[in-house]
Chain A
């Protein structure tokens, strides 16, 4: 038995990967078996993770390693400590439920083999991230999930109009704001890659100075921090690594890819862009934060890192919430909300390093990660069912659906309530814990601003959540629905295979909510004991945060205010909210500003896409074709050597080649050859010029004594 437990952490991520590789094999047998086996392999991962839970609860850690490149001190290994086991279990079960949901949601799609391959490959890589015992292996999974995310956002690669995300025809700063699935996939890939680059550079620096990638070694031998500090790279390395989390978790300034990633199938949005992959960044911070906190000789050395994390977190939470308030598409509203909620988690993890008690913010962040993963996955799956039933992704095309889709309504109400922070649902406790932790932070003077922003965000969260519920389930059916009714499309409840997964998650939200306080205590107990055990310099002050009255009042007030406004306009429908923007130019301006994503998306596009495209085209044209061309025509003529070679080339090559081609053709071939190949004499010239330049460069370096 003991041996089996050692193998389990490997199985958790290897089983889904094997499932991915076997997908084409099962597809060969028949479609049904392929679909079922895909879910079975995901279940295999989930069961293996669950079997590890007793280990986590008893506070033990399984660490197994095999040598990879011994002379570089690189090992492959798994680290199943309470943190990774807990997250792995949550992730794996949500993955399994979404796989089941997918069987219904994706039914009849012609490219399901590709779909299941990417889904299982994703699950395997995600669990690899969670269970890795070192940065390098984690990076493998990190790149793997990025690749799958790209493949799945752009899954509907035919780019049919119905699959576009964003409103077609709407432009900001001259750029269209609707994205085809392929564009959205590419955008997500490139943008998260910016984070990946940052992550990798940070890793290389950390590795060079510490000589290891291993989490446990970095925790035990903290001598590396001294060298990094003296090289001035301690905080830069940490922030570069955090950059990876910013990209993956769609935090400011790399948050713009997530809303457009909604072009993928809704099951994908639920799995990757709400419940799991975007949490990888939070998990990374949960891994890295304590390592750096522990390694610093004095706490003030790491303070800049945690302040950065907290500020980026709270600012993103606020930024995305303002956009969710004005979102028109149900999936986009949920996407903005995801970005915003992850901001809360980052805030909590940042606050952890700014408090006397590291475990408070740490637990709060991970608690919110868990509760959010569960309720957001359910929200997305519910949204998928709604889109299925109504044939539209716009909130205004729905309405009055509570009668026709009773179970979906009840489930959505529960999980939405949790998102809004309604008392005695899981999200209430976790958000309250974050607010309490923020209040507990001892460090900076800006903490009160952060706290205020967090509370304002909570108000907006409650508002947009109930706005969504109101628009979808209350009021009269929209014109769109009535027209569909006339065409004979009746709105009906989702099929069981889709319905059951999200009702289960709604049940989980309710259950965690009921035992919320004790759940938090338990989590705190488990994680803090682990922190103390793994890190010599992290001390836990008290058993648990308990209830902070200020935080409690703030969060109750937030849900009350936000909820009431939404109730007034969208559920009871006592007034028409469109009047506000019609009559008040300030409100209209604000609305436009939020709706156009603070213009960040358009600016990014101009700066990073348009200009880079132009730059590489111009560079190629001028450097490879133009400059050398120009120089040589002006200089080469005077050089006897070159003209001799040139004549020789002309006689032997140009004439030989264009032999038999009329003079007009000769001109043409000259042009085309210049574009696609180039002329030998210029190459020789470039070669010599290159050598001369090299000599000049070297002499310059030598004479001026430049050193790096």
Chain B
């Protein structure tokens, strides 16, 4: 059984037929049916992903026709992205209720989910590009889903233009690699090209940097991050969660497959370049976050900073095993924390109509569950022990020392400490400052369930991180072994 091959008909099939519901059902049933169907499809998809390693772990690395590789690495990432998609879809039960075009929304969501999971398994550059577009294009539409809202439109357009640019960049990079190595399959690239003539080295550099720029766009690395605050602010906030916690993570798995497996062939030393990118990304993200006035932009910059931490692991991936483990670990923890924070913000935005930080004053008493879960998520993002964010950062920073980049570890710790300043400020506003109103606000079930579930994951994996760490470790060792 091949997980990616099951996911295609499962998620793709449902997504394709979902818009028909628009015709079949009328009124409230339309949204209700489509949303529940989407949640069900994602649940089944998750079950499929989990089922595989539980039943037949030995068949795991069987690859299907050279396009996919059914390994633990792919499973790990598809688990993360599907989990995020599930959380987003479930909270959308309430968030999108009564809005026009609900079936379309869920259909696009499922397409994105499919694209992300396929990306997790892809080992062929062409397949990577196809899955990349499958993931990206629906999100352009989703970002502009509030079609009467100028901000949403503007965000979508900016996102689309830069997204198209980045896709083009990636494609160009891929074509160069094909030209240099004669293959698009990552493992064939690894084996085939024992020697690239020195005269082609400039092309090799160009290929790699085009890929960095293209992927960096989704990974939200500075200086390819400009679109992020706008897109996150304009998009429906649930979609911001999806972009920040989902599609960004999918970009990291591609980066791992390309940079760690295929590109060492080019004999380029990219360690220092990545280290500098990581440093700039986390520092700029944190500094900019401190000056923001709205929660969505603050979380956007915080998400940029977190990408910088993850990049630390990628930087030292070839020196120490801890690097990639840290990447995976933080991908998981960050996905959960960021989704929680964004969804809590989505609920608050929906109920109060505001996203500016001033409207968070006194929310603690008015929306207790939302404020509590938001607090836990923010503290986890800041890396406060014993929440899960602490552990993944611990692994990442230790890996930097292992890669002989102690200064990068120091920068990481400093940044992480600095970030607590703005995270804690929100918590202070929610609990200590007095707001304009004190009336209790109803917190709908779909949201509270999702928020509490995610919070439990944050706390549980914080107190006992061993399982997720072991999973990440096995996934990393599956990356190359026994192909």
Contacts and interface: CB of A to CB of B under 8 A. Distances in A.
Contacts of B435: none
A154 interface: yes
Most buried by B among A623, A656, A694: A694
Interface string A162-201: 0000000000000000000010000001100100110011
B465 A69 contact: yes
Contacts of B479: none
Contacts of B421: 190
Interface string B368-395: 0000000000000000111000010011
Q: Is the interface of B mostly helix, strand, loop or mixed?
A: helix
B291 A683 contact: no
B398 A208 contact: yes
B198 interface: no
A690 interface: yes
A72 B322 CA distance: 10
Contacts of B273: 694, 697-698, 701
Nearest to A205: B401
A451 interface: no
B213 A708 contact: no
B88 interface: no
A617 B223 contact: no
A616 B398 CA distance: 28
Contacts of A689: 223
Contact of B398 (A71, A204, A691): A204
Interface string A697-708: 111011000111
Given A204-B413, A657-B154, A683 B432 contact: no
Interface in B207-257: 209-210, 212-213, 216-217, 222-224, 226-227, 229-230, 233
B150 interface: yes
A691 B230 contact: no
B402 interface: yes
A687 B217 contact: yes
Interface residues of B, number: 72
A263 to B, nearest CB: 14
B466 A68 contact: yes
Contacts of A196: 417
Interface string A13-53: 00000000000000000000000000000000000000000
A392 to B, nearest CB: 27
Contacts of B162: 680, 683-684, 687
B483 interface: no
A565 interface: no
Interface stretch (B38-46, B403-411, B438-446): B403-411
Contacts of B165: 684, 687
B157 interface: yes
B169 A656 contact: no
B154 A200 contact: no
Interface stretch (A139-147, A410-418, A578-586): A139-147
Interface in A112-164: 136, 139-140, 143-144, 147, 154, 157
A594 to B, nearest CB: 32
Given A140-B386, A702-B205, A678 B226 contact: yes
A699 B404 CA distance: 22
B287 interface: yes
Interface in A585-635: 615-617, 619-620, 623-624, 628
B275 interface: yes
Contacts of A667: none
A686 interface: yes
B205 A193 contact: no
Contacts of B132: none
B28 interface: no
A699 B216 CA distance: 18
B150 A657 contact: yes
7 contacts: A143-B384, A204-B398, A617-B291, A653-B154, A676-B297, A677-B151, A683-B227
Given A143-B385, A693-B223, A698-B205, 18 more contacts: A68-B464, A69-B391, A139-B385, A140-B385, A182-B428, A189-B424, A193-B420, A204-B394, A204-B413, A205-B401, A617-B291, A619-B288, A620-B287, A656-B150, A657-B153, A684-B161, A686-B226, A697-B276
Interface of A: 67-72, 136, 139-140, 143-144, 147, 154, 157, 182, 189-190, 193, 196-197, 200-201, 204-205, 207-208, 233, 615-617, 619-620, 623-624, 628, 645, 649, 652-653, 656-657, 673, 676-678, 680, 682-684, 686-687, 689-691, 693-695, 697-699, 701-702, 706-708
